Structure 1
Amino acid sequence: MTKSAWTDERVDRLKTLWLEGRTADEIARELQNGISRSAVLGKVHRLGLSAGRPGRAPAGFGSQTPRRRVERPVAKPVKRATGRPSVPADRRPDLPSWGMTILTVTRGQCRWPYGDPAHPGFSLCGRPVARGAFCLGHAAVGYRTLPGGAPSLLSLAGLV
């Protein structure tokens, strides 16, 4: 059995320093010899000391003037630089006249890429998502089922 690094003296010192408002990092440096910041925080939690300590304001809190909310400009859509991906004509979706950038596409918008990501005209589809991360047309191209479907998979697994 290994000996604990938490002697009675160290625990008492931890309690005193913690209630003085010292940080876990400062306490760990003072206790030394294998006591890390995480070990201090764990011991504080196990001793139930964190509930009784008043919260501290971050350094410099209240000394600054309140920040104004900055309105950020919304990025405008970019024109597609390159043509359509090589997709059979019967499965090719109707493409929008413009695409979305990686910064403007949001959840629920198609992420089908147009062009080369290394070039400035790169964009994403941006149409409403129908399946996975793609719109209906791009999902038909991007997600393909194996010939034979589920019965074929079951036979491969030896279950049929």
Structure 2
Amino acid sequence: MSWTDDRVETLKKMWGEGQSASQIAKELGGVTRNAVIGKVHRLGLSNRATAGAAAKPDAKAKPAPKVEPKVKEAPVRVKPELKTEPAIDPNAVIPSRKQIIPAGQPLPPQPSANEISPEALAKVNEIEKKAKKISLMELTERTCKWPVGDPATEDFWFCGLPVQQGKPYCEAHVGVAFQPMSARRDRRR
């Protein structure tokens, strides 16, 4: 649908009479309410007569002046003023659930690491000595996808040993990643 001169005149007339965008769209056919609203704003017709003025039968709507298309100007960017005092007291203790650690910094001990049995950790340490140490691009559905190290450093790799049937990890890493529900429940108490 294109906005012909006749359709634009009908739009201006109905808009001036106080008709809703939905009513205008229905009358014109082939356009949506949003298309009508967009055209009204592009034509500069956004100022409407009040509801009381539109209800008067003898009040004539003035034809809208012909508006030349406006050339868009680049928005003026205003730099925000810099505050000289900090927004938050640097000595204040702010409780948070997550701590943001910059790349390359060692991660703090994870709570789940304390819950893993010493036998499972010993097995994982032994397996990681035998690991293939593969990169992300070398992973397949048959290789253990257990990440080792910090991803932000060069010394980051994946285990790469054969996976346990139906699992994404090798036998040792499955023992760490998937723990029985009763064992987890008992540790919480």
Q: Tell me the TM-score range normalised by the shorter chain.
A: 0.3 to 0.5
Relative to the length of structure 1, the TM-score reads 0.37
Q: Which has the higher helix share?
A: 2
The structure having more radius of gyration, on CA atoms, is 2
Relative to the length of structure 2, the TM-score reads 0.32
